[in-house]
């Protein structure tokens, strides 16, 4: 299959590129190399005979169309996004540009060329839940500017499908971790602080709960969904690893064999901080596949870098 991967030099996108190439896909990459993208992430891919990449903003519709035509693209796989909640609270202009305007640009490419869009969303579009888990038909209820732009993008996709017949698949993965993650995220912040001899900053009491998904497992499940799913479907992606933030920090500290009390500092909580994210994997199990996961082993691999 010929695919175009946006955000190919980012954290999750670069892992997806590696996987797709290893499975025989012909991959065209597009990335505008914002602060969160790095050419180092695709160094291995660049030498592969089935990979080529372009430095482009996904809002440049004409360029994306040209790449799709040149390489006979069948699916656009969209990882390109601004993702850090703290940054969206400071200013959401870039988030609107990439996460909404960018998706509309890709939809125009799909509409004009009659190709399909595989869109990577987030479990954060559901908002917080105290008990139970969200399923794919649950109401979208985003609670911060980042997740609001991701929810808006999903509405655009379903609107283009209904109005113009654009085929899509949307996935909503839980909180990813693993090698190549940008330094602003929680695990890299923890490791960077410890290596610098500084205390780890913890929002509030550290009791906020996230569902942790190893990035390599995430992209494996995405590839299987791409092959096995019908079009115009939405899937949650999770391995069900729900932990309090402070639990994750304790796990890292235990692996590194250092003292907990002297290694953390509690800071003022983030504005609008969602308490718990939790999603059901019942629908994805209907595709009859299994990606094995050992959280502690994946965490150790992440720490090793």
Out of 31, 82, 124, 154, pick the active-site residue: 124
Out of 146, 168, 214, 277, pick the active-site residue: 146
Q: Please count the CA atoms within 13 angstroms of the CA of 177 that sit on its side-chain side.
A: 29
Known catalytic membership, residue 131: no
| Cα 228-22-238 angle, rounded to 5 deg | 50
Among 164, 156, 65, 64, residue whose Cα is nearest residue 119 = 156
Out of 123, 154, 223, 281, pick the active-site residue: 123
| Phi/psi of residue 196, nearest 5 degrees | -90, 0
Known catalytic membership, residue 146: yes
Among 1, 35, 22, 2, residue whose Cα is nearest residue 219 = 22
Known catalytic membership, residue 86: no
Among 38, 63, 59, 37, residue whose Cα is nearest residue 28 = 63
Residues acting as catalytic residues: 123-124, 146
């Amino acid at each position: 299959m010929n695919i175009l991967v946006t955000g190919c030099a980012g954290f999750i996108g670069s892992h997806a590129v590696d996987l797709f190439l290893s499975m025989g896909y012909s991959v065209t990459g597009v990335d505008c190399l914002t602060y969160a993208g790095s050419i180092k992430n695709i160094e291995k891919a660049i030498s592969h005979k089935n990979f080529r990449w372009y430095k482009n903003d996904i809002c440049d519709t004409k360029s994306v169309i040209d790449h799709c035509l040149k390489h006979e693209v069948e699916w656009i796989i969209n990882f390109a996004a601004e993702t850090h909640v703290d940054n969206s609270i400071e200013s959401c202009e870039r988030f609107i540009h990439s996460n909404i305007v960018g998706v509309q640009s890709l939809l125009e490419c799909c509409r004009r060329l009659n190709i399909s869009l595989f869109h990577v969303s987030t479990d954060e579009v559901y908002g917080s839940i105290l008990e139970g888990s969200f399923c794919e038909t649950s109401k979208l209820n985003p609670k911060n500017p980042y997740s609001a732009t991701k929810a808006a993008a999903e509405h655009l996709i379903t609107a283009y499908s209904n109005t113009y017949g654009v085929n899509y698949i949307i996935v909503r993965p839980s909180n990813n971790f693993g090698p190549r993650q940008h330094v602003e995220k929680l695990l890299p912040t923890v490791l960077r602080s410890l290596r610098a001899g500084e205390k780890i900053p913890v929002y509030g009491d550290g009791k906020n709960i996230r569902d942790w998904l190893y990035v390599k497992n995430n992209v494996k499940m995405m590839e299987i969904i791409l092959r096995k799913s019908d079009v115009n479907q939405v899937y949650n992606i999770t391995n069900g690893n729900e932990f309090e933030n402070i639990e994750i920090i304790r796990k890292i500290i235990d692996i590194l064999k250092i003292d907990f009390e002297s290694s953390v500092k509690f800071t003022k909580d983030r504005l609008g901080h969602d308490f718990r994210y939790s999603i059901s994997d019942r629908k994805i199990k209907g595709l009859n596949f299994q990606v094995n996961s050992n959280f502690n082993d994946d965490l150790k691999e992440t720490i090793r870098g």
